[in-house]
Amino acid sequence: MTARVFIDGEAGTTGLGIRERLAHVPGVSVVSIDPDKRKDPEARKAMMASVDAVVLCLPDDAAKESTALAASLGEKAPRLLDASTAHRVNPDWVYGFAEMTEGQADKIRKAKRVANPGCYPTGTIALLRPLVEAGILPADYPVTINAVSGYSGGGKALIEQHESGKAPHFELYGLGLEHKHVPEIEGYSKLTTRPMFVPSVGHYHQGMLVSVPLHLNTLPGKPRAADLAYALRKHFDGSELISVAGEGDAALASGKVEPEALNNTDKMVLRVFGNDTRGHAVLVAQLDNLGKGASGAAVQNLKLMLGLK
Write the CA distances from 195 to 55, 174, 182, 213, 283, integer angstroms: 30, 13, 7, 12, 15
What's the CA angle centered on 78, arms 112 and 16, to 5 degrees?
Answer: 100
Distance CA 96, CA 82 (A): 9
The counts of H helices and E strands in the chain are 10, 13
Active site residue 57: no
Distance CA 283, CA 188 (A): 17
**The one catalytic residue among 119, 127, 214, 225:** 119
Closest alpha carbon to 296 in 265, 260, 273:
265
Task: Tell how strand 144-150 and strand 196-202 pair up.
Answer: parallel
- Are 244 and 226 in contact by the 8 Å Cβ rule? The answer is no
Distance CA 286, CA 269 (A): 5
106 phi and psi, to 5 degrees? -65, -35
79 phi and psi, to 5 degrees? -75, 145
Q: How many Å separate Cα 283 from the centre of its chain?
A: 17
What DSSP character marks residue 217?
Answer: G
Q: Where are the alpha helices (DSSP H) in the chain?
A: 13-22, 41-49, 60-71, 104-110, 119-133, 155-163, 182-188, 225-235, 250-254, 296-305
Residues involved in catalysis:
119
